[in-house]
Structure 1
Amino acid sequence: MPSLRWSPPPCRLPASLLISYIPDWAVTLASTLVWVYLGVTKPHYQLFSVDNKAISYPYVAPNEQTVTVPMLFAVSICVPAVIIAGIAFGLKRNLHDLHVGMLGLLLSVSLTLMFTNGLKNVVGRPRPNLLARCLPVSTSGPLRDPPQGLSSVAICSQTDMGVLNEGFRSFPSGHTSLAFAGMTFLMFYLAGKLHIFDRQGHSYKSFIVFLPLLVAAMVGASRVADYWHHPTDVFCGALIGFFTATFSYHQYYPVVFSPHCNRPYDPRKAPSPILPIHVAALSPLSGQQQQQQDSNGRDHIHLANSRQRTTTGTRSPVIDVHDDEEQSNNSGRASSTPLLNIEWNASTQSGYRT
């Protein structure tokens, strides 16, 4: 009979598990490199009118903005990373949760930065402070637009091409998209860990979960206040960050409506010939081995079936039996059959719990 005991969290992730996530890290790195390349590429220059009041605001230097670039990266990346690390490893002692949490956050940020810079260069929308950057001059009388036409970048006397190019990167707001990418991912992460939709009606959970979105919204509002973006730039930047973070989070975690939303998806490993990594991954059983499912959709099996299956292997796996707090919270009734969470580490020949 297999031993029944509590299994501690793994002290390290198996190499085979980390290797399985190399494509994800490659996408993250590639997106970051594309973002850097797009940032130094000359954008499209839209035509504009020197009489347009919407682009006649004063120029606020980058180091005088309400939210500077270092502050933006600290709020959008460092703060979520510290919170995720504190919960995943500091409280849960779960390296797999820590790994996919960091991976999902960086994937969200890198994809958002790439999409944002790509749109900035393609659209080339003038910023509200474009004329202050451009320093337009006229060689023939008063400064005005050509008859029945618009002015071009040719009338600008600005010698710093970095300042001038940034004047045509208004849409969408990069500050806003990055802030929403990091804060939205953090929002989903906290919502899952707190079981925001557990039907218990705890208001404090809602406040904690939606606080990151408030921070992101304040970052976006500062871009309008500093005359660096139009309101539509901020709105579209928020949409980009929100949807990219939503996509990235759900690559590694179930929806927040799931009773198991506090746990990441199973590690990517080939099943053991004796047992798969999780009971939920079991293929249809034969003979007397019957797989059952409780009211919340969690797969579980009878202890007798576990005993029968272990006799066919050369080594007895560790069966991790634990109280399922989510089962009691969500279903409101205890199961007559104990739930077994069977997890198998093929590289270390030991069971562990995620």
Structure 2
Amino acid sequence: MRHNLRSRAQPGRISIALALSYVFDWVIIIAAAGIGGAFSIITPNKRPFSLTNPEISFPHVEKEKISTAVLIVCSLVAPAVIIFLVAILLVPGPTVSKSTPKALIWKRKLWEWHTGWLGLALSLAAAFLITSGMKNLFGKPRPDLLSRCNPDLANAALYAVGGFGNPGESTNLVSHTICQNKHKSVMNDGFRSYPSGHASFSAAGLVYLSLFLASKLGITIPYLSPSAYTQDRSQFSAFPSRASPRSSEQLEEPSGHNDAIIAARNQAAAPPVYLLAVAIIPWFASIYIASTRYSDFRHHGFDILFGYFLGVVTAIFAFRYYHLPISQGAGWSWGPRSRDRSFWAGIGVGNYAGSDPKHENDRIGARDLEGQPKNDDRIELLPMENGGSNANGRHLTDGYENGEVRR
């Protein structure tokens, strides 16, 4: 009967549906980035402007402090390399038993690498797509627009589209057709001020990297866990089924009648500051990149702030989409989807991990075995030898066996 509670994959076989579902994830992310790239070459809307507006009268700086190529290296290539090195060198950590086969350890390394890159790609693609689309929709002039434009001042009255001045007065709003610069790409780029692409892209890549490093290095603000909860450390082990008895011990709830009280001050401690510095360096780098867009007269202040906010939102979303909370997940990413739910879990399920019994008899059998259907899917990327048991002595059947999720 226990077999009915597990994924029905044959040992040693990889679920094609599950693999294809993650390939499809990559296809969608790459397609989103491609659409964003297409937006960047489409002619944007071009908002009318005033020839006397000081906010668009700054000089055009030919050599940017952070070029697009440097931006890609700093926000995409460097984070990808760092994530790879961290996953290969630091995963799975000291919680692994020495008897754990190397092949199984490498499965975990590769999975953490995959989810790290998948989250980074999702963050960057989402920020790039949204930013590129908004640039074209709003068509806001850059601070250096007039320097790019070279307006036809002698015939300004012919291009007036708004304002209350007399025809030909410089206080009127004029259309972009007044510009005599025939360099199409330069002029189109002059109307892509909002939001800042450098700010959003740098935040999407480097803030995500900071979150990833904080997770893997255990950088959290010390806090007290709710006293109503116990802390079964086996659930945070790299491979819970192989955790030693000591790692499965629970902290007793402190009370006035317990001789083994653990003082509140000893329940947590601040991580080393050098690790904190390592984690926040990418964040600081993203702030610097965003600031150069102001000093290079490429964006107005609000454009940079909104672009940076957009990148932070996509970074946080992408990180949490594939990783456990930093303060509670012990540095792990979420496990893979179940093969039964590779593309869609179905209405009423609400979870893409685990496997549901296919027939009513199986459901009844599950209740008989467990007392109630299990809902704590503990995902491992390794098979378990002779099963495992949790702190209450219940058999742990949740796991990842030979590339398959099992319950």
Question: What TM-score do the two structures reach when normalised by structure 1?
Answer: 0.74
Q: 1:271 to 1:24 in 2, by over 3 A?
A: closer
Task: Please give the alpha-carbon distance, in whole angstroms, between the structure 2 residues aligned to 1:319 and 1:68.
Answer: 56
Task: Please give the alpha-carbon distance, in whole angstroms, between the structure 2 residues aligned to 1:286 and 1:121.
Answer: 56
Please, what is the CA RMSD of the aligned residues? 3.5
Which residue is equivalent to 2:25? 24
Which residue is equivalent to 1:192? 215
Which residue is equivalent to 2:401? 345
How far off its partner does 1:341 sit?
A: 8.0
Which residue is equivalent to 1:266? 335
Q: 1:298 to 1:289 in 2, by over 3 A?
A: closer
SS at match of 2:153: coil
Which residue is equivalent to 2:3? none
Counterpart code for 2:79: P
Q: 1:176 to 1:339 in 2, by over 3 A?
A: farther
Which residue is equivalent to 1:172? 195
1:318 aligns with 2:385: yes
Task: Please give the alpha-carbon distance, in whole angstroms, between the structure 2 residues aligned to 1:344 and 1:133.
Answer: 59
Task: Please give the alpha-carbon distance, in whole angstroms, between the structure 2 residues aligned to 1:238 and 1:141.
Answer: 37
1:82 aligns with 2:151: no
> Does the aligned pair in 2 maintain the 1:292–1:299 contact within 8 Å?
no
1:200-239 superposed matches below 5 A? 200-202=269-271, 203-239=273-309
Q: 1:298 to 1:173 in 2, by over 3 A?
A: same
- Deviation per CA, 1:239-280, whole angstroms, max 9, x where unpaired? 11010111111111122222x2411112113379xxxxxxx9
Uncovered stretches (5+) of structure 1, i.e. residues with no partner: 1-10, 273-279, 301-315, 325-334
How far off its partner does 1:17 sit?
A: 3.6
Q: 1:321 to 1:347 in 2, by over 3 A?
A: closer
Moved more, 190-199 or 39-48: 190-199
How far off its partner does 1:345 sit?
A: 2.7
1:1-354 superposed matches below 5 A? 15-61=16-62, 64-92=63-91, 93=106, 94-140=109-155, 146-147=168-169, 149-197=172-220, 199-202=268-271, 203-258=273-328, 260-270=329-339, 281=354, 285-287=366-368, 289=370, 318-319=385-386, 343-345=399-401
- Deviation per CA, 1:63-117, whole angstroms, max 9, x where unpaired? x211111110000001110111011123314111111111111111111111001
> Does the aligned pair in 2 maintain the 1:319–1:340 contact within 8 Å?
no
Q: 1:182 to 1:341 in 2, by over 3 A?
A: farther
Uncovered stretches (5+) of structure 2, i.e. residues with no partner: 1-11, 92-105, 161-167, 223-267, 342-352, 357-362
> Does the aligned pair in 2 maintain the 1:43–1:122 contact within 8 Å?
yes
Q: 1:213 to 1:320 in 2, by over 3 A?
A: farther
Q: 1:343 to 1:140 in 2, by over 3 A?
A: closer
Moved more, 25-34 or 211-220: 25-34
Task: Please give the alpha-carbon distance, in whole angstroms, between the structure 2 residues aligned to 1:341 and 1:89.
Answer: 28
Counterpart code for 2:70: M
> Does the aligned pair in 1 maintain the 2:210–2:280 contact within 8 Å?
yes
Question: What TM-score do the two structures reach when normalised by structure 2?
Answer: 0.65
SS at match of 1:82: helix
Question: Identity over the aligned pairs, expressed in percent?
Answer: 29
How far off its partner does 1:319 sit?
A: 4.7
- Deviation per CA, 1:200-220, whole angstroms, max 9, x where unpaired? 212333322222111000000
Task: Please give the alpha-carbon distance, in whole angstroms, between the structure 2 residues aligned to 1:132 and 1:121.
Answer: 21
Q: 1:111 to 1:13 in 2, by over 3 A?
A: farther
Which residue is equivalent to 1:308? none
